[in-house]
């Protein structure tokens, strides 16, 4: 089983909500910091793919399948006429030459299938069996009807798309061949998956580019392409191009062209509401039709020149195609609508209150979350498609409230200093510490109060340890910790008043010094006393020694007399 045609890559989402904002059917869920496509709601218009700045949306890569089919042989490329939008300056002949080098057995224009389809459209109009007929060349439009506007399904032309009609025609002419469609559309990959009996593979122009690059094949430019008279259906990829190929000889019908998802949405509503009758509506999801498809090479996008190139390439007559019996090109559509319970007014109000929307004036409808209105966003939250934190004004107010509580309520002095060393933010605590009003400080420079050295070092990128500085003209001392915010070119300074601490430290030092001096004097006096005692003891010891010596001699002399 093939993977989905378009998926979201996880972990790279940066919560910008551009994909939600660009999605016309709001088929994207945002939870846990990750935007994800909701497959059963997505119509594969590719708007989110083009909008995402992180390239989180991924088109299914079918190059391996294409390589396999080409390697088997008898593989034919069906090249959409929108190729001129992706490869300006080329021609069908130069494209065919490059694709044959890639290994295709043959290359034909999908415009051949478009000719078959437009004949069926004329037949359907002339049958007068449908009040309103909506073209079904665009698979994104078909999905839009099936999933979101099932009441419009009876108005669809139940006819194959040009891609499918061409594949059917090729396989009837070349039994056993495989067909690979090459075009600008993501939705065609899903059309392939839904109707497997026609094409065998779908490649976007982006994938074609990669395959050509792998083999070093370059597409030659064509300065003066030869005109092919039987090529009217090459007009299909521009707005009004289908109508330009049709006979349109039923005077009971109006013929109109609608392109772009927003216009498609409003037109479908008008059709369902009975505001449109007796009309054939050419409808394309991409603004300007297929030449503005999502998988056009970005470096080649040039809307106006693509229209001109397509018009110049088209002849005045139809391709020669075989006629098909009625219903031979019939196509079935299925109701793929999904049910979502409508939340109650109470539930909506409850969500709005949670994000600070307690009155109508609080509902800014800024669309920063991706939804058009705050109520629409609240409904998405209830449906599990969105989170409360997606509301930017709510987050900003929450952040301001938190920051205000931290900054305003901090016991430490806080300040922001810019590159010109001016205070740009001062909290009340610092104002009290310095004995200056906040207004006074905000109109002054930091060097008016403190040595500039550590601030200059911080802006220079140095790692500045907490430093104690005396405030100029005062006895106040502050311990200052600095943090340089390179992204915003500011220094955040935290001030702690250590005046009392420094005073106590100084007094302690003085006491220690005085004690040391007293101790030194006492020691000196004691040493003198000891020395005097020692001197006296020394004299006494000497006299005692003499006396004892004399006594000893006397005793010895007395013993001798006996």
Residue 330 lies in a domain: no
Give the span between the Cα atoms of 47 and 21, in whole angstroms.
10
Determine the pLDDT at residue 449.
97
Of 12, 28, 60, which one is at a domain's C-terminal end? 60
> Do 303 and 192 have their domain in common?
yes
| Domain end (from 313, 328, 353) | 313
- Reply yes or no on whether the pLDDT at 559 is more than 70: no
Tokens standing for 7?
Answer: 């998926």
The pLDDT assigned to 355 comes to: 87
pLDDT at 2 over 90: no
What mean pLDDT do residues 503-526 have?
Answer: 85
Whether residue 69 contacts residue 199, with contact meaning beta carbons closer than 8 Å, is answered with: no
289 in the same domain as 202: yes
Could you tell me which residues come within 8 angstroms of residue 318 by beta carbon, excluding any fewer than 6 positions away?
Answer: 115, 119, 230, 232, 233, 245
Tokens of 105: 């057995």
Give me the pLDDT at residue 379, please: 93
CATH number of the domain bearing residue 425: 3.30.450.20
User: Would you place residue 409 in the very low, low, confident or very high pLDDT band (cuts 50, 70, 90)?
Assistant: confident
Per-residue pLDDT band at 233 (split at 50, 70, 90): very high
Place of tokens 């945002």: 30
Residue with the larger pLDDT of the pair 70 and 357: 70
Confidence of residue 1 (pLDDT cuts 50, 70, 90): low
Instruction: Answer whether residue 511 is part of any domain.
Output: no
Q: Can you read off the two tokens belonging to residue 506? A: 């100084």
Lowest mean pLDDT across 135-149, 359-373, 467-481 = 359-373
SS3 category, 204: strand
Domain of residue 49: give its range: 1-60
Same domain, 65 and 43: no
The verdict on 126 and 209 lying in the same domain is yes
Based on the fold, state whether residues 187 and 146 are members of the same structural domain.
yes
pLDDT band at 40 (very low <50, low <70, confident <90, very high): very high
Residue 145 lies inside a defined structural domain of this protein = yes
Question: The sheet that has 254-259: what strands, in order across it?
Answer: 132-134, 279-284, 254-259
pLDDT band, residue 404 (cuts 50/70/90): confident
Q: How confident is the model at residue 399 (pLDDT cuts 50, 70, 90)?
A: low
Residue 441: inside a domain: yes
CATH number for the domain harbouring residue 363: 1.10.15
pLDDT at 68: 98
185 shares a domain with 138: yes
Check whether residue 86 and residue 3 sit in a common domain. Answer: no
Res 63: pLDDT: 97
523-557: pLDDT as tens digits: 888 788 778 777 777 676 667 667 666 766 667 66
Residue 12: pLDDT band with limits 50, 70, 90: confident
Specify if 210 maps to a domain. yes
- CATH of residue 50's domain is 3.30.70.20
Antiparallel, parallel or unpaired: β 279-284 and 254-259: parallel
Are 177 and 305 found together in one domain? yes
Q: How far apart are CA 80 and CA 61, in angstroms?
A: 19
Of 259, 241, 255, nearest to 115 by C-alpha is 241
- Cβ contacts of 448 within 8 Å, gap of 6 or more: 472
- Which of these, 287, 330, 326, 241, lies nearest to 141 by C-alpha position? 287
**Could you give the CA distance from residue 169 to residue 238 in angstroms, rounded to a whole number?**
23
Residue 70 within any structural domain of the chain? yes
Which has more pLDDT, 451 or 515? Answer: 451
Distances (CA, A) of 470 to 330, 445, 450, 473: 89, 16, 7, 9
Positive or negative, the CA dihedral 531, 532, 533, 536 is: positive
281 vs 443: which has the higher pLDDT: 281
Q: What is the mean pLDDT of the chain?
A: 92
pLDDT of residue 137: 98
**pLDDT interval class at 418 (50, 70, 90):** very high
Residue 560 above 60 pLDDT? no
Top mean-pLDDT range of 149-163, 389-403, 461-475: 149-163
* Count of domains for the chain: 4
- 129 shares its domain with 227: yes
Residue 533 has a pLDDT of 76
Which CATH number goes with the domain that contains 226?
A: 3.40.50
pLDDT of residue 541: 67
* Residues 266 and 147 placed together within one structural domain of the fold: yes
- pLDDT value of residue 524: 81
Please give the share of the chain, as a percent, with pLDDT higher than 90. 74
Distance, in Å, from the CA atom of 60 to the CA atom of 189, rounded to the nearest integer, reads 8
Answer with the one of 439, 463, 497 that is the final residue of a domain.
497
What mean pLDDT is predicted for residues 17-41?
A: 93
pLDDT at position 396 over 90: no
Residue 553 lies in a domain: no
92 with 141, same domain: the answer is: yes
pLDDT at residue 9 tops 90: no
pTM, two decimal places: 0.75
Q: Is residue 319 part of a domain?
A: no
- What's the mean pLDDT in 212-238? 93
> Same structural domain for residues 475 and 391?
no
């Amino acid at each position: 089983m093939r993977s989905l045609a378009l998926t979201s890559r996880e972990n790279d989402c940066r919560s910008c909500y551009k994909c939600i904002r660009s999605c016309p059917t709001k088929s994207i869920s945002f939870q846990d910091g990750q935007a994800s496509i909701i497959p059963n709601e997505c119509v594969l218009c590719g708007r989110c793919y083009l909008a995402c700045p992180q390239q989180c949306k991924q088109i299914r890569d079918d190059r391996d399948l294409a390589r396999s089919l080409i390697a088997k042989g008898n593989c034919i490329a069906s090249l959409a006429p929108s190729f001129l939008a992706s490869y300006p300056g080329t021609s069908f002949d130069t494209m065919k030459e490059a694709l044959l080098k890639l290994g295709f057995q043959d290359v034909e224009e999908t415009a051949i299938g478009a000719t078959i389809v437009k004949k069926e459209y004329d037949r359907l109009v002339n049958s007068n069996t449908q009040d309103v007929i909506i073209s079904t060349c665009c698979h994104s439009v078909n999905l839009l009807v099936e999933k979101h506007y099932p009441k419009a399904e009876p108005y669809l032309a139940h006819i194959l798309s040009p891609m499918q009609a061409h594949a059917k025609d090729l396989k009837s002419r070349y039994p056993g061949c495989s067909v690979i469609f090459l075009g600008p559309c993501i939705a065609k990959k899903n059309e392939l998956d839904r109707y497997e009996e026609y094409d065998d593979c779908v490649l976007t122009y982006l994938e074609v580019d990669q395959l050509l690059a792998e083999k070093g094949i370059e597409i030659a430019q064509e300065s003066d392409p030869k005109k092919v008279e039987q090529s009217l259906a090459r007009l299909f990829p521009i707005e009004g191009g289908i109508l330009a190929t049709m006979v349109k000889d039923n005077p009971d019908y109006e013929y109109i062209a609608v392109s772009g998802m927003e216009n498609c949405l409003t037109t479908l509503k008008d059709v369902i509401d009975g505001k449109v009758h007796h009309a054939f509506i050419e409808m394309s999801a991409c603004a300007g039709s297929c030449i503005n498809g999502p998988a056009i090479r970005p470096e080649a996008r040039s809307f106006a020149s693509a229209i001109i190139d397509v018009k110049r390439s088209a002849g005045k007559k139809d391709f020669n195609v075989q006629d098909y019996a009625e219903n031979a090109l019939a196509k079935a559509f299925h109701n793929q609508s999904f049910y979502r319970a409508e939340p109650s007014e109470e539930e909506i109000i409850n969500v709005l209150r949670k994000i600070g929307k307690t009155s109508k004036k609080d509902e800014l409808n800024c669309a920063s979350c991706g939804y058009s209105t705050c109520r629409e966003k609240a409904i998405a939250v209830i449906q599990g498609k969105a989170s409360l934190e997606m509301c930017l004004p709510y987050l900003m107010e929450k952040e301001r409230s938190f920051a205000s509580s931290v900054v305003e309520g901090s016991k430490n002095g806080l300040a922001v200093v810019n590159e010109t060393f001016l205070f740009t933010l001062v909290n009340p605590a610092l104002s009290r510490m310095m004995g200056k009003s906040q207004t006074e400080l905000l109109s002054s420079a930091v060097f008016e109060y403190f040595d500039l050295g550590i601030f200059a070092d911080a802006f220079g990128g140095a790692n500045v340890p907490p430093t104690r500085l005396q405030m100029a003209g005062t006895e106040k001392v502050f311990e200052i910790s600095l943090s340089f915010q390179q992204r915003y070119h500011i220094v955040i300074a935290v001030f702690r008043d250590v005046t009392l601490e420094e005073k106590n430290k100084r007094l302690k030092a003085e006491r220690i010094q005085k004690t040391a001096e007293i101790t030194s004097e006492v020691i000196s006096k004691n040493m003198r006393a000891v020395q005097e005692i020692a001197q006296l003891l020394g004299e006494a010891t000497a006299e005692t020694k003499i006396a004892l010596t004399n006594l000893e001699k006397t005793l010895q002399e007395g013993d001798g007399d006996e």
